[in-house]
Structure 1
Amino acid sequence: MPVARYPGPVVATLTTAMVSIGLLVLAVRFGWLGADVGRGANFCEAARGGWVKQPANALSNLGFVVAGLAVAWRTRLPQCLGDTLPRFPGLATGYACLVVLLGPASAAMHATQSSLGGLLDMTSMYLVASFAAAYAVTRWRSRDSTFFWLAFLLLVAACELIGLWDREIPVVHSAGNATFGLLLVVAVVVETTMWRGGRARADLRYGAAALASMLVAFAIWNLSQHSWCDPDSFVQGHAAWHLLDAVAAYLLFRLYASERAVARQGIFP
């Protein structure tokens, strides 16, 4: 029997990648994002001359583009999406496009060190953390796509508002970073609660690997701003943070796609 394949997710995600990267290149070339105000300069890499201020930190964001395309490549095969994702039409493709957008959005800050670039970087972080938290809560509460999108949009809006608070916070620096981390903790706690309660079956190796990748990335994120910092090196710890986060984003999708509902629990609408 032939395996069903649908090109839509790949087309949508590839289009998102091409358009977003193209717009970023134009924005960097023509200064659309504004002047260099040193945004992101605290991530060690010294600003260089030319178009791209922090080449290692900027180019490493291509990892998100690759991860998003990898998600889309699997999404084109409905039989690889498990029992739960198909209950939310378009969600897997939306996640693939979102992961792709993390790349150009983060690169916008590192390439220009502009204020608007920094805003794009933070917004992309809010998007992925809000997705993880909203999707976890939606399944936990046995709700539908409408609930997911409302929760997702409300969380993103809340992150944007909290991110306006400009006080320095130990370790994570800003309220925006703290909110990003808090939403990921919420997602982990809710996912763990569901699995331990026997409400769904999934390949937890993907979840463990995604969490491990994020924790290692966070450790490198901190060390690379202090003891591991070498501003003139093209090997940057913050670039490793990007790459490990891209791996975690892909592994998170594999976790979602491995999920099989426990029908007797009746937890899904």
Structure 2
Amino acid sequence: MNPGLRVSEYCERIDASFWAEPANAVSNIAFIATAIGIFWLLPRKGPRDYPVLLLIALTVLMGIGSFLYHTTPSRLTAIADVLPIGLFIYASFFIAIMRFLALRLITTIWVTAAFIAVSLAVSMSLQHVIGTSAGYAPALLALFGVGLVTLPYRRKIGTGMIMTGLMFTLSLSLRTMDYAVCDWFPIGTHFMWHALNSVVAYMLLRLIVHARRPGTFEH
């Protein structure tokens, strides 16, 4: 594998220069803003919320990895782009179901393992339909699924998850249509995927942060 092999997957990139995708690159600052915003929500006193700190770190890495890929696209930077996203999806799923549903550790591990297995199957089955966006379809289903399961027990959190799922639906749609709009919107819609995904991450992490506090978002 040649780590310097160039790729071109987005409307905005028409050459191999560093700033060929300015909107796609600069829009990743939204992930840094999300990380700062969630960190600000954490209590200043008491035990540190290490699971959320992990998710904050992964949010920062998502922004950095995506910036690298959209400025110097290669197989190596593609890994830096998608790896933090995958880790964020599975880590946030693990933490969310444990907090929202008060599951035991062993149950959470088994449910997360099942989610990973189903994710791989769903991604492969949808790849010929929505291309590279298929890898994110399981995350979309998880947002709605966890929201619906949580809704009867913790209405505000369940509703929040469903709203997050709706936002991610819009975000994923914009990612999927990027190539389709090239002729009349040369900049493409991928930068909107970044911007809205940062909102999705904020909405999800805010629910996870507050779910740890007794009496918060309980009804």
Question: What is the TM-score when the length of structure 2 is the normalising length?
Answer: 0.76
Deviations 1:45-86 (A, max 9, x none): 22345433422212211111111111111114469xxxxxx7
Aligned amino acid, residue 143 of structure 1 = R
Percent identity between the aligned chains? 21
Q: State which of 184, 188, 198 in structure 2 corresponds to 1:236.
A: 188
- Show the 5 A alignment for 1:81-92: 89-92=49-52
2:174 maps to what in 1?
220
Larger-Rg structure:
1
1:9 maps to what in 2?
none
Please list every run of 5 or more consecutive structure 1 residues that lacks an aligned counterpart in the other structure. Answer: 1-32, 80-85, 263-269
Assess, with a 3 A threshold, how the Cα gap between structure 1 residues 46 and 89 changes in structure 2: closer, same or farther. closer
Q: In 1, Cα distance between the equivalents of 2:5 and 2:124?
A: 19
Q: State which of 84, 87, 103 in structure 2 corresponds to 1:142.
A: 103
Contact 1:99 1:128 in 2 (8 A): yes
1:201 to partner: Cα distance: 5.0
2:91 maps to what in 1?
131
Q: In 2, Cα distance between the equivalents of 1:150 and 1:90?
A: 21
- Show the 5 A alignment for 1:1-269: 34-38=3-7, 41-48=8-15, 50-77=17-44, 89-139=49-99, 140=101, 142-144=103-105, 169-174=127-132, 177-196=133-152, 198=153, 200=154, 202-203=156-157, 206-226=160-180, 228-230=181-183, 233=186, 235-259=187-211
> How many residue pairs get matched?
211
Aligned amino acid, residue 23 of structure 2 = A
CA RMSD, 1 decimal: 3.6
1:123 to partner: Cα distance: 1.1
Assess, with a 3 A threshold, how the Cα gap between structure 1 residues 59 and 155 changes in structure 2: closer, same or farther. farther
Contact 1:46 1:231 in 2 (8 A): no
Q: In 2, Cα distance between the equivalents of 1:111 and 1:155?
A: 35
Q: Residue 203 of structure 2 aligns to a residue in which SS? A: helix
More helix per residue? 2
Q: In 2, Cα distance between the equivalents of 1:231 and 1:77?
A: 49
Q: In 2, Cα distance between the equivalents of 1:151 and 1:47?
A: 43
Q: Residue 51 of structure 1 aligns to a residue in which SS? A: coil
Q: In 2, Cα distance between the equivalents of 1:170 and 1:135?
A: 31
Q: Residue 47 of structure 1 aligns to a residue in which SS? A: coil
Assess, with a 3 A threshold, how the Cα gap between structure 1 residues 69 and 112 changes in structure 2: closer, same or farther. same
1:214 to partner: Cα distance: 0.9
Q: In 2, Cα distance between the equivalents of 1:216 and 1:96?
A: 23
Q: In 2, Cα distance between the equivalents of 1:159 and 1:35?
A: 33
Contact 1:201 1:261 in 2 (8 A): no
Q: In 2, Cα distance between the equivalents of 1:168 and 1:193?
A: 24
